[in-house]
Amino acid sequence: MTFLRLMLGYLLQTLPFAFLCIYPFRDALRLPGKKAWGATALLLAALGLLFAYAGCYLKGIFPPGQALFQAANAWFLFLLLPCGAWFFILVRAGWQRKLFLLCFALTSAMLITAVCNLICSNFPWSLPDDGLPYRIDAFLVLLLLTALALPALWLLVERGYRPMADSLSSREHTVLSLLCLGLFVFLAGGFSFLDYEHLDRPVMLFLFAALVVCLCVLYGICFRMLLLSHRQLRAQREIRQARQAFSLQQEQYRRIRDSVRQTRQMRHDLRHHMVTIQGYLQRGDLQAASDYIARYLEQAQRYAVTQLCEHPIVNTLISHYQALAEEAGIAFSASVRLGAALGVAPEDMAVLLGNLLDNALEAAGRQSTVARFIRVGLYASGQMLAITVDNSFDGTVRMAEGRYLSTKALHDGLGLESIAHIAARYEGGVEFSHEKQVFHASVMLAAQQAPSG
């Protein structure tokens, strides 16, 4: 009976919080989902058997009392080491993220256990204490507290941490993770070896409650930092989008103004060109007349606004970046198959396509070789919109946790973040890849789908 109770108690205290740790990284596991969860369950079951066997062994060495309770808790803490090692091996993510969630889950479990021990040690209906954890009454109280707390903890991680994790810098993540580690070490060193029967005095009970509140406040500060960082990132993204749109409007206005002025000048000078061509023809110099007409058409084409499609935003953006690429000596080609209307908000299309083209232009411009190019494709089919941008680059990439980072000076990758954010709102996806000195970017959107979030 003792063996079974220790086994079930260990699983109750580890399985829910293993889920709390691993679930936020469900897309970054080194094993397929079912294999990862199965291997984790087997590991915890094996450790539970080991804990139960060691508890029964310790019961034969120590008499019932606080010494046995502390020895069992020490063995429990020791068995957390392989759990933490497995978590770090299983998940592909930065060590700061893994450490933060691991310590958060362990601290939450320890706090729930401390409250459970307090309840079971100071209420008259508690069963006799044999010194080992997870008595029947303690098991039921622990089960109830876990069932009440786990949904709130999961919601806090899923809605509070996970959406904002990408907005944290490595330094911010390091501070948060080390703070959580310190809290867990303090809690493990204090609560695990605390004699809960001595907390029946009002002063001790008040100090215990104050400590629990302080721990909750500290974690509240951690998640408040996450929220402020997320808001700062969103504000930076909106400012950048506004600046990009304003810059695009200014440049397009300048190009249209120059085109209108040049067109008026060409119309004014058209009579002179006709006279010149007539002179060549009257002299029979057909080659000179043909060359003159070719130069005139080339000059006229230089100031024409390219009409690639009927969608005004797409046409404006591609025309703008095509002109910039040609000025920089970068070969630019575009294949566009769109209608005049798309189920994508104009501001989202401007930011999405603008960031893709801006990144491609900057990367191709850094390349020192002659064969510099940018190839753009936009295709609409049914409810799906596909955008592809391929460009040459110098082969230098920055990656972290399997994600591409910006290589621009003083840039933190907000452009790539904006692209992924917009794609997610339209229930689409993004994919970046590279081979040798060619970078590929592709975006899929449910164009007729109303954006969510």
Where is the domain boundary, 175, 200, 225? 200
Which pLDDT score is estimated for 166?
65
CATH of the domain at 322: 3.30.565.10
250: in domain: no
Confidence of residue 82 (pLDDT cuts 50, 70, 90): very high
Quote the pTM value. Answer: 0.55
Which pLDDT score is estimated for 197?
58
- Let me know whether 317 and 179 are in one domain: no
Which pLDDT score is estimated for 46?
94
- Let me know whether 312 and 195 are in one domain: no
pLDDT tens readout for residues 346-399: 778 888 888 899 889 988 888 776 688 999 999 888 778 899 999 998 877 766
Higher pLDDT, 230 or 127: 230
Where is the domain boundary, 180, 200, 220? 200
378 sits in the region (left: phi over 0; alpha: psi -120 to 50; else beta) called beta
What are the DSSP calls for 69-134, one per residue?
HHHHHHHHHHHHHHHHHHHHHHB-S-HHHHHHHHHHHHHHHHHHHHHHHHHHHHSTTPPPP-SSS-
282: in domain: no
224: in domain: no
Reply yes or no on whether the pLDDT at 79 is more than 50: yes
The parent domain of residue 80 ranges over: 2-200
Reply yes or no on whether the pLDDT at 154 is more than 50: yes
- Let me know whether 191 and 320 are in one domain: no
| Residue 25 CB contacts under 8 Å (≥ 6 apart), including other chains | 91, 92, 93, 97, 98, 101
